């Protein structure tokens, strides 16, 4: 396996995806007394190129490590970041790669990556129940953390979700928020 | 003749012996053999990320992160503050980085010794349990001496640490480290050469290298399967960037990798030794200077309120890679987004693979071997698939099965 530098990784993404890459960023941080440089990569791809981007990561590293999918409500869109690491197992060579994709709220769908990375199923289930992003082709469609008595269509990570407020137990001294 | 049902489902948990927090495992069994397993989590989901982004400010979140887990209460605040520092562009002073690493390694020693005791208990070898926990007291005393607390240490602050390690404290630290060095060969004899432990752990709960990588396992679980994956080595953070750390795999001792429970013991045991070396190196090389980048709390909070950006930090916790993602938005008292991924989250995905093909009596030790950061089994229920009749197997019963297996083998 050939180890590419962060700049070469970005170049390889541009070659593989062309216009599918929206934005790229390299964060550099200097740490320790010996001033070692720690680099991390952020690659923003558009929705249609998402699968191709994950397939490209699988070409860079045989079994890429997907730590977690973090999601954030931007208002009109939902942003998902797939936190990958590649080139692990080699001293000071590992690279953090955040693969960012934005989905419009009226079409919250993302293809599954479990066929390429089987261990991704838990984090996909969590994203599905907490953010309401439908994962197309997920092998296990059950809830992960949320209990069954929470009704369908309640997504705690969404900022526009008012239904959750009604479910919160009203603690002494706390009034439930009312819609204005 | 009607078809005879041979497979039964045995739910273990939500309260289970090998766990410190509730979780449920549904085992599909054919006689004594486990055919398949499924994991149901969520019994202790406390919405920490929600509280962290909706209620708390940046500094309150450090103490919130500390309470994610009682045992790894260093790695969570460590990852959280590093993520915030990256997002806000704060550089902690070098002395603080060394103190952080010393505390993190003390936690690794105590966590691995705690696990060693639990593992001994799971196979019915309580002498080992008492011994390992007695030995662990020394490190807890040392932690109390340095931080003022045995468990939640409250050492971290954004931009540094809250307490210094002074020159007068060094002899006491060295004394504890010497104690561990003097008993290390004895610990090695007990955990690696005792025939009972060998019988119950060799070729039990095997996780092959390929499965370990596919199922995204981390920490001693993946290293015992022969992958030298360790954040301290691969992507050194804090003072680890100055130190020379090597990822520990079982072939360093035995020359081969099996990926069973025994290999996980080897990895943890060697890591205790490695942690002692790291602490000694840190003490020797610790630079002098201040311990906080910004000692005035109001100024720090104000600075964070204005900051904008995002940061992700990885820390090698005793159980594996712990990652925190933080997003800052100007004008907010706390982070706009906070995502925590504890190492057990991914290690659990490998549990069905580890249990498959094993026996019910091996469940406690195989389950405990990933060192799950969850809680304790009080009961298990066996369900007859045809009649739906439930037979209760309580914790004592499951534990008794495990102990009986040890006796049978002897």
The domain that holds B151 is classified in CATH as 1.10.645.10
Looking at the predicted structure, is the pLDDT value of residue B3 above 70? no
Q: What is the pLDDT of residue B390?
A: 45
Q: Pick the residue from chain A with its C-alpha nearest to B336.
A: A72
Boundary-marking domain end, from B339, B366, B392: B339
- B39 and B65 part of one domain: no
Q: Given this model, what pLDDT does residue B147 score? A: 92
Q: Which pLDDT value is given to residue B380?
A: 33
Residue B103 shares a structural domain with residue B145: yes
Give mean pLDDT, residues B5-17.
Answer: 70
Phi-psi bin for A76: left (phi > 0), alpha (psi -120 to 50), beta?
alpha
Do B29 and B80 lie in a common domain? no
**pLDDT per residue as tens digits for the range B372-401:** 764 322 223 333 344 444 444 556 677 777
In chain B, which residues have their Cβ closer than 8 Å to the Cβ of A70?
A: 325, 337, 339
Out of B313, B339, B365, a domain closes at: B339
Q: What is the mean pLDDT of residues B311-318?
A: 92
pLDDT of residue B93: 93
Q: B345: which chain A residues are within 8 Å (Cβ-Cβ)?
A: 68, 122
Which pair of tokens denotes residue B248? 């520990």
**Domain, as residue range, for B132:** 48-339
Q: What is the DSSP letter of B162?
A: S
Range in A122-131, B9-18, B40-49, B154-163 the model is least confident about: B9-18
- A83 vs B97, B233, B325: nearest CB: B325
High-pLDDT (> 70) share of chain B, %: 90
Q: Are residues B212 and B145 in the same domain?
A: yes
Q: Do A92 and B345 touch (CB under 8 A)?
A: no
Q: What's the rounded Cα separation, in Å, for the pair B241 and B273?
A: 19
Q: Structural domains in chain A?
A: 6-167 (3.30.460.80)
Q: Which of B228, B312, B346 sits opposite A98 (nearest CB)?
A: B312
CA–CA separation, B265 vs B260, rounded Å? 9
Q: Please indicate whether, in this complex, the C-beta atoms of B41 and A145 are within 8 angstroms of each other.
A: yes
* Same domain flag for B276 and B237: yes
Q: Does residue B399 form part of some domain?
A: yes
On whether both B18 and B55 belong to a single domain, the answer is no
Task: Tell me the residue length of chain B.
Answer: 410
**Measured between alpha carbons, how far is B378 from B392 in angstroms, rounded to an integer?**
11
| In-domain check, residue B249 | yes
Encoded tokens for B25: 């495992």
CB contact under 8 A, B86 and A156: no
**Residue B286 placed within a domain:** yes
E-state strands within B249-295: none
In B, which residues are within 8 Å of A65 by CB distance? 213, 216, 218, 229
For residues B360 and B400, membership in a common domain is answered with yes
* Sheet of strand A21-31, all strands in order from the earlier edge strand to the far edge: A21-31, A36-45, A95-104, A77-86, A65-73
Q: What integer is the mean pLDDT of B344-357?
A: 87
The answer to whether residue B2 sits within a structural domain is no
Pair (B287, B193) in one structural domain: yes
| Mean pLDDT of the residues in chain B | 86
pLDDT (mean) for B195-221: 91
Tens-digit pLDDT profile for residues B48-104: 888 888 888 999 999 988 888 888 889 999 999 999 999 999 999 999 999 999 999
Question: Among residues B307, B339, B371, which one ends one of the domains?
Answer: B339
Q: Tell whether the model's pLDDT for residue B1 goes beyond 50.
A: no
* B210 contacts on A by Cβ (under 8 Å): 63
Antiparallel, parallel or unpaired: β A134-136 and A109-111: parallel
Least confident of B133-142, B243-252, B375-384: B375-384
Helix-helix angle A50-60:A6-17, to 10 degrees: 140
Q: Chains A, B: CB contacts under 8 A, how many?
A: 120
CA distance A95 to chain B (A): 7
Closest-CA distance, A35 to chain B, in angstroms, reads 8
Residue of A nearest to B244 (CA): A91
Is B229's CB within 8 Å of A81's CB? no
CB-based contact B188:B271 (threshold 8 Å): no
CB contact set of B390 (below 8 Å; sequence gap of 6+): B381, B382, B383, B384
Note whether B289 and B354 are same-domain residues: no
Q: Looking at the structure, do residues B333 and B311 belong to the same domain, yes or no?
A: yes
- Band (pLDDT 50/70/90 cuts) for residue B402 is confident
* Closest CA of chain B from A6, distance in Å: 14
Task: For chain A, count helices (H), then strands (E).
Answer: 4, 7
The token duo for B387 is 């009649």
The Cβ of residue A35 has, within 10 Å, a number of other Cβ atoms equal to 9
Residue B325 located in a structural domain: yes
Is residue B69 domain-resident?
yes
**B18 assigned to some structural domain:** yes
The answer on B58 and B31 residing in a single domain is no
Maximum alpha-carbon separation in chain B: 83
Are A89 and B228 a contacting pair at CB < 8 A?
A: yes
Query: What pLDDT sits at residue B122?
Result: 84
CA distance B219 to chain A (A): 11
* Nearest beta carbon to residue A96 from set B233, B312, B337: B312
B244: confidence class by pLDDT, cuts 50, 70, 90: confident
Residues B91 and B135 in one domain: yes
Question: Which pLDDT score, from 0 to 100, does residue B393 have?
Answer: 54
Cross-chain residue pair B339–A156, CB shorter than 8 Å:
no
Q: Is A146 in contact with B348 (Cβ distance < 8 A)?
A: no
8 A C-beta contact, residue A123 and residue A66? yes
Helix/strand/coil for B21? strand
Which residues of chain A register pLDDT less than 70?
Answer: 161-162, 164-180
pTM of the model: 0.89
Chain B residues near residue A162 by CB distance under 8 angstroms: none
Nearest CA in chain A to B236: A92
In A, which residues are within 8 Å of B370 by CB distance? none
CA-nearest residue to A29 within chain B is B86
Q: In this complex, which of A38, A144, A146 lies closest to B237 when CB atoms are compared?
A: A38
Q: Using CA atoms, how far apart are residues A21 and A44, in angstroms rounded to an integer?
A: 6
Q: How far apart are CA A145 and CA A155, in angstroms?
A: 12
Answer yes or no: is B1 within a domain.
Answer: no
Domains in chain B, number? 2
Interchain pair B216, A94: CB under 8 A: no
Cβ–Cβ of A119/B94 closer than 8 Å? no
| Contact yes or no for A40 and B312 at CB 8 A | yes
A59-84 pLDDT, tens per residue? 999 899 999 999 999 989 999 999 99
Angle (CA) B181-B185-B188 rounded to 5° is 120
What is the per-residue pLDDT for B143? 94
Apex B231 CA angle, B272 and A112, nearest 5: 130
Q: Could A33 and B86 be called an inter-chain contact, meaning their C-beta atoms sit closer than 8 Å? A: no
CATH number of the structural domain spanning residue B365: 3.30.390
DSSP code of residue B323: E
* B237/A31 touch (CB, cutoff 8 Å), yes or no: yes
Contact B236 A117 (CB under 8 A): no
């Amino acid at each position: 396996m050939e180890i590419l530098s962060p700049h070469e990784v970005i170049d390889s993404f541009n070659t593989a995806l062309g216009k599918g890459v929206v934005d790229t960023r390299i964060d550099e941080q200097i740490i320790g007394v010996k001033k070692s440089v720690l680099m991390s990569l952020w690659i923003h791809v558009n929705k249609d190129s998402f699968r191709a981007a994950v397939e490209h990561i699988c070409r860079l590293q045989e079994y890429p490590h997907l730590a977690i999918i973090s999601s954030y409500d931007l208002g009109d869109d939902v942003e998902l970041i797939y936190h990958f690491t590649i080139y692990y197992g080699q001293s000071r060579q590992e690279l953090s790669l955040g693969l960012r994709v934005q989905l419009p709220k009226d079409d919250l769908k993302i293809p599954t990556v479990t066929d390429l990375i089987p261990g991704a199923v838990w984090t996909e289930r969590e994203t599905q129940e907490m953010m309401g992003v439908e994962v197309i082709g997920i092998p296990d469609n059950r809830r992960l953390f949320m209990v069954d008595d929470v009704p369908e269509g309640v997504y705690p990570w969404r900022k526009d979700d008012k239904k959750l407020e009604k479910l919160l137990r009203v603690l002494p001294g706390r009034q439930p928020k009312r819609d204005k | 003749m009607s078809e005879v049902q041979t497979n039964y489902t045995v739910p273990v948990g939500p309260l289970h012996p090998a766990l410190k927090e509730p979780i449920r495992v549904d085992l599909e069994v054919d006689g004594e053999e486990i055919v398949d397993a499924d994991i149901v989590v969520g019994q202790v989901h406390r919405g920490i990320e929600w509280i962290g982004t909706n209620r708390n400010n940046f500094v309150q979140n450090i103490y919130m992160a500390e309470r994610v887990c009682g045992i790894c209460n260093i790695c969570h605040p460590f990852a959280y503050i590093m993520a915030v520092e990256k997002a806000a562009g704060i550089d902690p002073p070098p002395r603080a980085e060394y103190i952080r690493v010393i505390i993190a390694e003390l936690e690794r020693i105590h966590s691995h010794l705690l696990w060693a005791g639990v593992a001994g208990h799971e196979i019915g070898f309580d002498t080992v349990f008492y011994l390992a926990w007695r030995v662990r007291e020394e490190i807890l005393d040392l932690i109390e001496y340095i931080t003022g607390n045995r468990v939640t240490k409250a050492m971290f602050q954004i931009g540094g640490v809250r307490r210094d390690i002074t020159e007068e404290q060094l002899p006491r630290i060295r004394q504890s480290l010497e104690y561990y060095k003097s008993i290390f060969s004895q610990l090695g004899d007990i955990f690696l050469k005792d025939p009972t432990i060998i019988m119950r752990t060799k070729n039990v709960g095997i996780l092959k290298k390929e499965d370990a990588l596919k199922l995204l396992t981390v920490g001693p679980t993946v290293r015992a399967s022969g992958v030298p994956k360790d954040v301290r080595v691969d992507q050194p953070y804090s003072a680890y960037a100055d130190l020379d750390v090597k990822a520990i795999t079982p072939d360093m001792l035995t020359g081969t990798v099996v990926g069973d429970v025994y290999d996980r013991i080897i990895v943890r045991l060697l890591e205790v030794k490695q942690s002692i070396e790291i602490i000694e190196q840190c003490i020797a090389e610790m630079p002098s200077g201040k311990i906080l980048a910004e000692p005035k709390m109001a100024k720090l909070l104000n600075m964070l309120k204005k900051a904008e950006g995002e940061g992700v930090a990885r820390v090698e916790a005793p159980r594996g890679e712990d990652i925190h993602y933080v997003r800052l938005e100007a004008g907010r008292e706390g982070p706009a987004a906070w995502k925590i991924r504890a190492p057990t989250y991914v290690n659990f995905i490998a549990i069905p693979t580890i249990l498959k093909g094993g026996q019910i009596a091996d469940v406690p030790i195989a389950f405990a071997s990933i060192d799950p950061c969850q809680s304790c089994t009080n009961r298990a229920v066996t369900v007859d698939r045809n009649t739906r009749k439930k037979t209760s197997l309580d914790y004592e019963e499951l534990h008794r099965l495990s102990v009986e297996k040890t006796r049978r083998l002897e």
